[in-house]
Amino acid sequence: MPAAKKLIVRIVSGDSRTCPLCDESLEGFEESCNHLLQVHKLKYLHIGQETEDANRGLQNTVGIFGRV
């Protein structure tokens, strides 16, 4: 039996709204998260913030999903 492939997917609230696995068009960060969980059966690994531009105070929400 072949070993399962490891897969890590990172989505960012400020990025494009297409699934990185199947290119389905998605409406927003929440829909993207739900899509990865429900359609691709990935596990939620981390949700947090990252600073895009500290000088302007721009923050994004980041979601890390995977199959490990």
Per-residue pLDDT of the chain (68 residues; tens, 9 = 90+): 455 688 999 999 988 789 999 999 999 999 999 999 999 999 999 999 998 887 887 899 999 999 97
The pTM for the full model equals: 0.82
Local structure of 10: helix, strand or coil: strand
- Structural domain includes residue 63: yes
Only one residue has tokens 């949700």, namely 47
- Structural domain includes residue 1: no
Only one residue has tokens 């699934």, namely 19
- Count structural domains, the chain: 1
Residue 52: give the domain boundaries: 7-67
Q: State the CB neighbour count (10 A cutoff) for residue 42.
A: 21
- Structural domain includes residue 2: no
Cβ contacts of 12 within 8 Å, gap of 6 or more:
50, 60, 61, 62, 63
> Tokens in use for 4?
């399962």
